[in-house]
Each structure stands twice: as structure tokens, then as C-alpha cells.
Chain A
């Protein structure tokens, strides 16, 4: 008899372990969990901001001056033509354009929208991104049309001993970024 009485008690305890929250409390538990999730997400946003600060601080404290690198010989490309080179790293493609007899400009080739490679259009005298028709001014890299949110970074050039030397990267509206 006592065993029969114990069995329902055990079942009730097992049931309570399986379902510890009463139906009336369910809404509270869900709200609480959702609130905790929101605060955790807020913490993740803060981590993102701190990561940005740390990356900025690390970049400023460890960055040496931009390297000086010969990217082409003077007269190597014809007027209206362009040449791809890498600067400052081997993965950073840039585009050198000869606009006149002694006029050269160079920009990062990566479109500021979705990183497609921009090409020079001599007919329109502008840099064009073929992916989403974003156009950049050849004079200073500013956005002329399309979805790119920022101007193209400009590569600082110097002519010395018949050679074109890249000396830094310039963002529109700022001084040399070094």
C-alpha cells in the first residue's frame, strides 16, 4: 500500500522537474530571458566599439610611415592609359592613371561600396565600378554617382629620377594618413 502511495509522489516530483515553470509564470520567464538577451546584445555592441578603439589605438601606436615604393617608370604608360600596382601591401591593388604628359594620379582600386575593382574610363575621364555603376572623380576620387559611400583613397605620388614613387595614402578631406 505504501509503495502505491509513493509511486504517485515520485511521478509528481518527476513531473515538477520536467516542467519547473507554471503556466502563469511562463510569460515572466520569457520576458526575463528576452531582457537578458537584449542586454547581452548591448554588451556585444559595446565590445564592437571597444574593438574599434583598440584597433585604432594599435594602428596608431605601431604604424610606421608609409613605405616609399617605385610603382612605374615615367612614360611607361601612354596618356589615358592605366596600370595596376600594389601598395602598400601585396594585396592592396591600386590604379595608376596617366592623365597628361606629366600628370599622374593613383587611387586604391577597391570600390568603397562592395570592394569591386574599379577601372579607368578614358572616354568619360572617371573611375568606374562595373558592379553597381559607381563613378569616382579622377581628380580627387570623390563619388560622382552610384552607391559608394566614401571617396576612393588617393595614393600620393612623387616623381624622382624618372620614376614614380608611391609615398602614402590620402583620404579625401584629410591630410596624408601617416
Chain B
């Protein structure tokens, strides 16, 4: 079965959306790793008051990561459903 040219842009768009989401996810994850390292370091130095704000920030970053992934998955699913005869996800 050959793909119709009409569907290629949507597939490309989905791929691009997923790539962009992955890039942002990596950036958010690096920030989160740094945040954990910094707060452990501060906690070991006796500054225990940083633990709670850092946890709130980390929760926001996690929510951002989850939201990004869900958005990208939705975009991908939308593109796949628009292809004739390819309604089932692999």
C-alpha cells in the first residue's frame, strides 16, 4: 500500500511535534536533575529549608514533562488517525 502525498505533511508534523517535545523534555529533565543535586547538597550542608520549595518546583517540572508528552502523543495519534486504513496504533 502506497501512502497518499496528502498524508505526508501530517506525519512529518507529528514527527516534528514529537522531536520538539523530546528536546523540551530533555531540557526540563536536566533542570530537574540539577535541582535534585543542588537540594541534596544544600540539605547535607544543613540548609533543610530548601527541600520543600525544591520539591514543589520538581513537581511542576514533572507536570510539564507529562503534559508535553501527552500533547505530543495526542498530535501523533491525530496524525495517524487521519491516514486512511491506518486507524490502529502499532
Give me the interface of A with B, judged by CB distance under 8 Å.
20-22, 25, 27-29, 31-32, 34-36, 38-39, 41-43, 45-46, 48-50, 52-53, 56, 59-60, 112, 149-150, 153, 171, 174, 177
Report the minimum CB–CB distance from A154 to chain B (whole Å).
11
Please, how many angstroms separate the alpha-carbon atoms of A31 and B16 in the complex?
11
A177 close to B90 (CB less than 8 A): no
Of A27, A36, A42, A56, the residue contacting B15 (CB under 8 A) is A27
- Chain A residue numbers with a CB within 8 Å of B62 are 39, 42-43, 45-46
B65 close to A38 (CB less than 8 A): yes
B55 close to A53 (CB less than 8 A): yes
B55 close to A50 (CB less than 8 A): yes
Give me the interface of B with A, judged by CB distance under 8 Å.
14-15, 18-19, 21-22, 25-26, 28-29, 32-33, 35-36, 39-41, 43-48, 51-52, 54-55, 58-59, 61-62, 65-66, 69, 72-73, 76, 90
Nearest B-chain residue to A48, judged by Cβ: B36
A174 close to B46 (CB less than 8 A): yes
Q: Specify which of B26, B29, B72 lies most central, judged by the most chain A CB atoms within 10 Å of its CB.
A: B29
- Chain A residue numbers with a CB within 8 Å of B25 are 35, 38-39, 42
Please, how many angstroms separate the alpha-carbon atoms of A41 and B29 in the complex?
8
- Chain B residue numbers with a CB within 8 Å of A59 are 48
What are 24 residue pairs bridging A and B, where the CB atoms are less than 8 Å apart in the complex?
A: A28-B18, A28-B76, A29-B90, A31-B15, A32-B73, A35-B22, A36-B69, A39-B65, A39-B69, A42-B29, A42-B32, A42-B65, A45-B58, A45-B62, A46-B62, A49-B36, A52-B51, A52-B54, A53-B52, A112-B44, A149-B45, A150-B41, A153-B46, A174-B47
Please, how many angstroms separate the alpha-carbon atoms of A14 and B29 in the complex?
40
B52 close to A38 (CB less than 8 A): no
Nearest A-chain residue to B33, judged by Cβ: A45
Q: Specify which of B29, B40, B58 lies most central, judged by the most chain A CB atoms within 10 Å of its CB.
A: B58
Nearest A-chain residue to B88, judged by Cβ: A20
A32 close to B45 (CB less than 8 A): no
Of all A-B residue pairs in the complex, the 8 with the closest CB atoms, nearest first, are: A171-B46, A49-B55, A49-B58, A42-B65, A45-B32, A38-B25, A21-B90, A46-B62
Say whether, besides A38-B65, A39-B66, A42-B61, A60 and B48 are in contact (CB < 8 Å).
yes
